[in-house]
Structures are given as C-alpha cells and as structure tokens.
C-alpha cells in the first residue's frame, strides 16, 4: 500500500515537472519568435523601471518635460498649444464610393480652436516672441483683421500666453464668430465691409489700432517695458505659410505615405495652399495641385489665366462687398505675400458656386453625419470634380477647415440662403448637383 502511494507520488511529481518544463519551453519559444528572450525581457523590464524612476525623479524636481508636437499622440501635451496640429485624416466614404477614387480629408476642425487657423495663429505668435516683438505678461495686445477663424485662434493663443486680443471684423459675417471671440475675452470691433483701399477696411483698421496702442502704451508695461500692439497680419505675414510648410504638408505626406495623386483646397490668405503645395511638390513632383475658389473671387482667373479678375467686378450686383459669395474664409480679390508663395506650385483651379457648396454640405450631413463649414464644402465639391477628371483609382486629398458650428446664422441658415437666391433642398442624396 505504501509502495503504491509512493509510486503514485513519483508519477505526480514527474508529471508536474514535465508540465513546468513544457510551459517554460513554450514560453521561451513564443518569446523567441517575437525576438525577445526571457533574459532580454527581464533586462527590458529593469531598463523600463529605471527609466520610470528617472522620469519620476525629473518630474518631482519640476524639470521641464519636452513634448514635441509630433509625439503628442503618445505623450501628455504641454497646454493648449500642444493640441494644435497632427489632426487625423479621414476617408469620405460616400464621395469615394461615388467617384471610384479615394477622397481623403484632413480634419482640421479638430484643432482646439476649431479650425486650421490654429496653426497660423500659433506660428505668428511664436515668431513674434522669438523676434522679441511680443513679451508675455507685460500687457501687450494682439491685433488682427479677420472674418472670424484666425481671430478665434489668436484669441485662444493670446489667453494661453498672457496677452490680450483685439479683433476687427466685417459686420456681415456669421454672428456666432463674434460671440465666440467675446467668450474668449477678445475685444471685438465690427466695421462696415469696404474695399481694401479704404483706410477703415477691417485689415487696415486693425493695423492702425495696433500702432495707436503701441504709441499710447510706450514704457508702461508691467515691468516698465513697452506694452506692444502687435498686428498679426495673417495675409502678409509669412509665418502663415511657414506653419503649413512645416506642419500640415509633412503630416499629409506621412498620413498618406506619399500615396497622393491630387491635392485641392481654397485660399483666403493663401498660406495653406502655398505651404502645403510647396512641401508636397518637393516630395511628389508628379502631384497635381488645385485651387478651389468660390464665386466672386479673382484667384480662379489668376491661376488659370494669370489675370486677377472676377466677373462680378463687371456685373455690379454683389451680394457682399468683399467677395460675391455666401462662403466665408476663402476667396479674395487681391494678391497677398502668402498666396505669392504658391507661384509655380498650383497646377489648376476649380470654380465652385454657392449652390454647389450648400448642396454638398447638406449631402455630407445626410450621408456621413459630417457637419462642415462653407470653405470645407467648397473643397469637397472641387475634390469630386477632380476625381471625375482623373478617373477611378486615384487618391485626392483636401481639408475640412472648420465645422458648421460657426456658420449657423449664415451658411446653415435656410432663411438667409433663400434671401440670397439659393435653393435650400429638403434632401440631397446624390452628387448630380455638381456640374
């Protein structure tokens, strides 16, 4: 009986030993197939613990942690500026399936300030600080003339950096833009829309206000230094172009792995078009780049025929003084330094009507649940046109500059659109509205 139990114990012990050996062997094989041995794994764990301890000691000593923008997806970003850029790229399913092309859109409305202008605002303020034009916390004020988005982005950055913001804008833009600016603590000055040659045009007035502020506040900053009135000047300030050449363009290239046949976007200041086009063309010389231009803007003819001209200049029945369109944020009738940077990098231009832009916005809500602003709608119409021109199998990239949230009282107002002679349809379930 005792011998039998002893034999059983031996068998159990041998079985357990074999089981442990088999388990360890299997684990070693699995780890080896992953390129990691047990000893390496333990060494990596020790290194990881050591690194964590060192990181903890650095944090406890309050040393500054470097958080580059390109790594923000894997790190904790340093304030709201760290949220700017690296926006996702999305495939617009309905447009892609309808055209047989991959129509991709960079979701710039996911920047913290709600638009691609966050990049520009940050670049202009960073440049001004680097050049010692702006000093945080000394009572300086940032001035800008804008139809909305750049002002909102500047007001946000101003608060984060310890500045005030003074925004001059036309009084006919969507109401919610000025409301957002006021909630961000900016001083908003609305003016009658007039030509750029008028001294009280919103951009010219912003520049003058900055000069007056600097003169009146000379030597009375918080440290006895000058409280500066900084005119951001998004139309002529090449920090605008640089923002897109150094961030937006590289992001598009990285996200698409360089697999892009065409790129299309509108232009207001021209900084986005110039910066992205120049960067992508340096990497992809066969890429086709297109300007998407709303009705009433002269840029279409500038790109197509090298003549800055809009038919509305002759017809004389404008809806708005600045540009004859319900679209806000793109379209202009003068050349800027930023737009000039696109010379030689834009291959063609697409004209988009107000009706097409309105229909596209409604179509994307119905098909995608995608609620976009007016300039984004212009971009999407142009992307479909290019897809039809190139034929199935191509990849077209565009930008969704902002959402529809700041366009509720204009581009998304049925009453306003009807008054402008635009048909507001109950349902838009196909792309037949694109000529």
Phi and psi torsions of 50, nearest 5°: -65, -45
Residue 53 burial by CB count (10 A; 0-12/13-18/19+): exposed, middle or buried?
Answer: exposed
Residue 171 and residue 190: Cα distance in Å, rounded?
A: 5
Handedness of CA 390, 392, 398, 402 (dihedral sign): positive
Residue 380 and residue 95: Cα distance in Å, rounded?
A: 9
Tokens 């357990």: give the residue.
16
Q: What 3-state DSSP class applies to 83?
A: helix
117 tagged catalytic = yes
DSSP letter (8 states) at residue 402? B
Contacts of 420 by beta carbon, 8 Å cutoff, 6+ apart = 319, 326, 354
Alpha helices in 186-323 (DSSP H): 202-216, 239-243, 249-256, 271-283, 299-305, 311-315
Residue 347 and residue 303: Cα distance in Å, rounded?
A: 8
Tokens 């199998």: give the residue.
393
- Candidates 342, 402, 409; CA nearest to 116 is 402
- Candidates 307, 310, 306; CA nearest to 294 is 310
Element (H, E) at 348: strand 348-352
| Largest distance between two CA atoms of the chain | 115
Q: Which two tokens stand for residue 245?
A: 């050449």
List the catalytic residue out of 106, 117, 177, 207: 117
Distance set, CA 242 to CA 233, 246, 271 (Å): 14, 6, 8
Bridge partners, 403 (sequence order): 372
**For residue 347, how many other CB atoms are within 10 A of its CB?**
15
Which residues are tagged catalytic? 117
């Amino acid at each position: 009986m005792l011998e039998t139990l002893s034999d059983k114990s031996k068998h159990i012990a041998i079985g357990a030993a074999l089981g442990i050996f088999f388990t360890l062997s299997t684990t070693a094989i699995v780890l080896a197939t992953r390129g990691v041995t047990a000893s390496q794994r333990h060494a990596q764990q020790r290194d990881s613990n050591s690194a964590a301890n060192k990181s903890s000691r650095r944090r406890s000593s309050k040393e500054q942690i470097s958080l580059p923008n390109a790594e923000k997806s894997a790190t904790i970003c340093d304030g709201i500026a760290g949220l700017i850029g690296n926006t996702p790229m999305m495939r617009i399913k309905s447009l892609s399936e309808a055209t047989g092309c991959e129509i991709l859109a960079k979701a710039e409305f996911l920047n913290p300030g709600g638009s691609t202008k966050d990049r520009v605002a940050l670049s202009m303020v960073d440049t001004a600080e680097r050049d010692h034009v702006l000093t945080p916390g000394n009572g300086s004020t940032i001035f800008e003339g804008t139809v909305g988005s750049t002002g909102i982005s500047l007001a946000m950055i101003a608060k984060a950096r310890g500045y005030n913001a003074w925004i001059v804008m036309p009084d006919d833009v969507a109401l919610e833009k000025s409301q957002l600016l006021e909630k961000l603590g900016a001083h908003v000055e609305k003016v009658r829309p007039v030509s750029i040659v008028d001294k009280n045009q919103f951009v010219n007035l912003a520049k003058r206000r900055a000069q007056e502020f600097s003169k009146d506040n000379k030597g009375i900053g918080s440290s006895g230094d000058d409280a500066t009135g900084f005119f951001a000047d998004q139309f002529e300030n090449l920090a605008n172009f640089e923002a897109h050449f150094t961030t937006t363009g590289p992001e598009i290239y990285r996200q698409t792995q360089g697999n892009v046949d065409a790129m299309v976007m509108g232009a207001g200041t021209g900084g986005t078009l110039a910066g992205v086009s120049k960067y992508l063309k340096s990497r992809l010389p066969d890429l086709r780049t297109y300007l998407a231009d709303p009705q009433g803007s002269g840029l279409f003819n500038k790109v197509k025929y090298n003549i800055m001209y809009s038919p509305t200049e002759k017809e004389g029945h404008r809806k708005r003084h600045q540009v004859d369109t319900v679209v806000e944020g793109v379209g202009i009738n003068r050349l800027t330094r930023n737009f000039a940077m696109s010379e030689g990098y834009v291959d063609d231009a697409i004209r988009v009507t107000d009706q097409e832009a309105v229909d596209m916005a409604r179509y994307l809500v119905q098909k995608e649940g995608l609620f976009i602003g007016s300039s984004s709608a212009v971009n999407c119409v142009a992307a479909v046109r290019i897809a039809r021109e190139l034929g199935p199998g191509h990849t077209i990239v565009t930008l969704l500059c902002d959402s529809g949230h700041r366009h509720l009282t204009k581009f998304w107002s049925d009453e306003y659109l009807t008054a402008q002679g635009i048909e507001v349809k109950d349902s838009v379930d196909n792309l037949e509205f694109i000529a």
